Amino acid sequence: MKYELVIGLETHVELNTESKIFCSCGGHSASQEPNDCVCPACSGMPGMLPVMNKHVVELAATAGLLLNCEISRYTTFDKKNYYYPDLPCAYQITQLNHPICTNGLVKLKTSEGERDIRIKQIHMEEDAGKLVHVGKASYVDFNRTSVPLIEIVTQPDFRSAEEVVVYLNKLKTMFRAGGISDCELGTMRCDVNISVRPEGSEEYGVRSEIKNMTSFESIERAIRYEAQRHMDAIEFETEVLVQETRRFDDVTGKTYAMRNKETEADYRYFPDANLMPIIIDDEWFEEIKANMPAAIDEKADEYRAAGISENEIEMIIDNHNVSTLLDAVVEMGCDPKSAVGWILTECAGVLRKNGKLIKDLDISAEKMAAIIKMVDSGDINRMNGRKTLTAVLEEDVDPAAYVKENGFDKKVDTATIEAIMDKVLAENTQALEDFRNGKVKAKQALFGACMRELKGIGDPAVIREMLDKKLG
Ligand code: ADP
Ligand code: ZN
Ligand code: MG
């Protein structure tokens, strides 16, 4: 019999906020010492009350807009009760009854054509802490407790592992471009719900939920393994499938049962009376929409229309700092293609020399635009533009002042260049003779000598052309 895979995803994404969701602890990062980022509230001390972080609501709503959801203008929090040592209050604050976003839609481009994935809902919640096991001892680290998350729940609309990966990549690109989340390993985690059914059947099969996967590779492997297990169970009656929660083991490549699927009643959800309902009024909603990043597809089309290549578009969209910088310098009147060259090639080159990556690029749009304009208008040549850029990135100098100081903006007239060229040719008889004897490389040496005499001033293209003419 032929079977069809049915998959629904629950994806947790850590939001890019400056502080936690219900307290002012900030700067949580993986490199911190355990419990360096905690306060009485997020470590569950008695009597502490949560205070909503406004930015979390804004980012969650923005994510919803990007995924074409309806945004709830009235949204509330619930307590989900369970006991585990990494959860200091013994409940997690999450949203059950009135999630912030519902009924979205994501369009995917796959090798089988275009596919629609419906988004059931997006809700806000707090993360739990982490247990650290050392030998026979266990420790608890609360740095991650109350870090803001959104959980994006899809309908069971995926039919292959490929679609899942395309979807996750799309979320990642969108959320990174929108400054919503880094979606790095560990800040994007995925629960995969999976069942199989005979092709053509309308009914869903019994599903299992594979918890907490962080790499696309594990997700693909887990789906492949689990689908096969289900098909064998149905076809050969190797086992009776039950709805349950499983974990995937990267080493064996298999999934293992963890527990029977818990139901809502198991958690004794109830409204969190410590948090007021959040009302998103018209004014706030308009503000959120106004600050929304352009949808990725539109953004990519815009870059494409400006003649930017697909590879470059991917790099730009993947790095929020790059797209913001590019948009700003273009707004200031720089040519888009030229700006892309300066940012992705020249800036990246300087960063690389300093052991950094493009995502570390931090230059003001004003300074970047000033350099691009000086070069494009012919005020300074490209080589000196590069020197100026290096000084800006490494020492944060003022580009115009730096150019003046170093005389990069001096002009030379053709007669002066002519005279210098004659002098160079007269002094470099050997190179000249080599060139006459067919050694092409010798011309480069002569050109280099001219540029040195000119102290880097003048347009290299013009000088090269003049030299060509002189050499016949
Ligand atoms: P629950 O309330 O039990 O958590 P939900 O309706 O919230 O169930 O669904 C959780 C996830 O499981 C969703 O992503 C949904 O698409 C997916 N899902 C539901 N039924 C199936 C099924 N039969 N096969 C695969 N995925 C499913
Ligand atoms: Zn705190
Ligand atoms: Mg659910």
Please tell me the number of the ligand nearest to residue 145's CA: 2
pLDDT digits (tens, 9 = 90+) for 412-422: 888 888 888 88
Which ligand number lies closest to the CA of residue 88? 2
Q: Which ligand is nearest to the CA of 264?
A: 1
Q: Could you tell me which residues come within 8 angstroms of residue 314 by beta carbon, excluding any fewer than 6 positions away? A: none
CA of residue 222 to ligand 1 center, whole Å: 17
pLDDT of residue 366 exceeding 80: yes
What is the CB neighbour count within 10 angstroms for residue 420? 19
Q: Which atom of ligand 1 is nearest to the CA of 9?
A: 14
Are both 161 and 218 inside the same structural domain?
yes
Residue at 286 is within a domain: no
Residue 336 has pLDDT above 90, yes or no: yes
Contact 154 CB / ligand 1 (< 6 Å): yes
Q: Are residues 368 and 438 in the same domain?
A: no
Q: Does position 199 have pLDDT exceeding 80, yes or no? A: yes
* Count of C-beta atoms within a 10 Å radius of residue 471: 15
In this structure, are 189 and 57 located in the same domain?
yes
Over residues 77-103, mean pLDDT = 97
Decide: pTM greater than 0.85. Answer: no
Q: Does ligand 1 lie within 6 Å of residue 4's CB atom? A: no
347-359 residue pLDDT tens: 999 999 999 988 8
Average the pLDDT over 329-340 and give the result. 94
Q: Ligand 3 center to residue 120 CA distance, Å?
A: 10
Q: Which atom of ligand 1 is nearest to the CA of 204?
A: 23
* CB of 153 sitting under 6 A from ligand 1: yes
Tell which one of 97, 151, 207, 245 to mutate to probe ligand 1, the residue whose CB is within 8 A of the most ligand atoms.
207
Are both 399 and 419 inside the same structural domain?
no
Q: Token pair for residue 383?
A: 């080589």
Q: Left (φ > 0), alpha (ψ -120 to 50) or beta: where does 212 sit?
A: left
Task: Check whether residue 210 and residue 238 sit in a common domain.
Answer: yes
Domain boundary among 384, 405, 426: 405
Question: What is the whole-number distance in angstroms between the Cα of residue 192 and the centre of ligand 3?
Answer: 11
Domain-located, residue 288 = no
Up-side HSE of residue 378: CA atoms within 13 Å toward CB?
Answer: 7
Output the domain CATH number for residue 449: 1.10.10.410
Distance 331 CA to ligand 1 centre (A): 45
Show the domain range for 312.
294-405
Residues 244 and 111 occupy one common structural domain: yes
* Residue 396 counted as domain residue: yes
The mean per-residue pLDDT over the stretch 323-352 comes to 94
Instruction: Check whether residue 50 and residue 166 sit in a common domain.
Output: yes
Put the strands of the sheet holding 208-213 in their side by side order.
70-71, 101-110, 113-126, 148-154, 3-14, 188-198, 208-213, 244-249, 254-260
155 and 177 in a single domain? The answer is yes
Is residue 461's pLDDT more than 90?
Answer: no
Q: Which numbered ligand comes closest to the C-alpha of 193?
A: 1
With a CB cutoff of 8 Å and minimum separation 6, the contacts of 47 are: none
Mean pLDDT estimate for the chain: 92
258 in any annotated domain:
yes
State whether 223 and 141 are in the same domain: yes
Q: Residue 367: its pLDDT value, please?
A: 97
Rounded (10°) CA dihedral 113, 114, 116, 122: 110
3-state secondary structure of 188: strand
Alpha-carbon distance of 91 to 79, in angstroms, equals 6
What percent of the chain has pLDDT above 90?
Answer: 68
Ligand 1 pocket residue status of 6, Cβ below 6 Å = yes
pLDDT tens, position by position, 132-190: 999 999 999 999 999 999 999 999 999 999 999 999 999 998 898 888 998 887 889 99
Q: Output the CA 96–ligand 3 centroid distance in Å.
A: 9
- Residues with C-beta atoms within 5 A of ion ligand 2: 23, 25, 39, 41-42
Q: Look at residues 386, 405, 424 and tell me which one is the last residue of a structural domain.
A: 405
9 vs 161: CA distance, rounded Å: 11
pLDDT of 462 reads 84
Query: pLDDT tens digit string along 283-318?
Result: 999 999 988 877 777 788 889 999 999 999 988 988
Considering the domain boundaries, does residue 115 fall inside one? yes
Whether the CB of 155 sits within 6 Å of ligand 1: yes
Instruction: Report which protein residue has its CA nearest ligand 1's atom 14.
Output: 8
Q: Is residue 72 part of a domain?
A: yes
Is the pLDDT at 267 greater than 80? The verdict is yes
Question: End of a domain among 235, 253, 279?
Answer: 279
Structure confidence by residue, pLDDT tens digits, 369-384: 999 999 999 889 899 9
Given pLDDT bands bounded at 50, 70 and 90, which one contains residue 425? confident
Q: For residue 285, is it within any domain? A: no
The arithmetic mean of pLDDT across residues 101-105, rounded, is 97
Query: Do 400 and 420 lie in a common domain?
Result: no
Question: What's the domain count of the chain?
Answer: 3
With the C-alpha atoms ordered 213, 219, 222, 226, is the resulting torsion angle positive or negative? Answer: positive
Q: What ranges make up the beta strands (E) of 41-100?
A: 70-71, 74-75, 78-81, 91-94
In a domain, 284, yes or no: no
| Distance, C-alpha 101 to centroid of its chain | 22
Ligand 1 pocket member 255 (CB < 6 A): no
Q: Which residue has the tokens 């815009």?
A: 302
pLDDT at residue 431 above 80?
Answer: yes
Specify the residue for token string 């700092």. 321
Is there a contact between 222 and 248 (Cβ–Cβ < 8 Å)? yes
Q: Are residues 108 and 44 in the same domain?
A: yes
CA distance 448 to 430: 15
Residue 27's pLDDT is 67
Do 256 and 370 sit in the same domain of this protein? no
212-249 pLDDT tens trace: 898 999 999 999 999 999 999 999 988 999 999 999 99
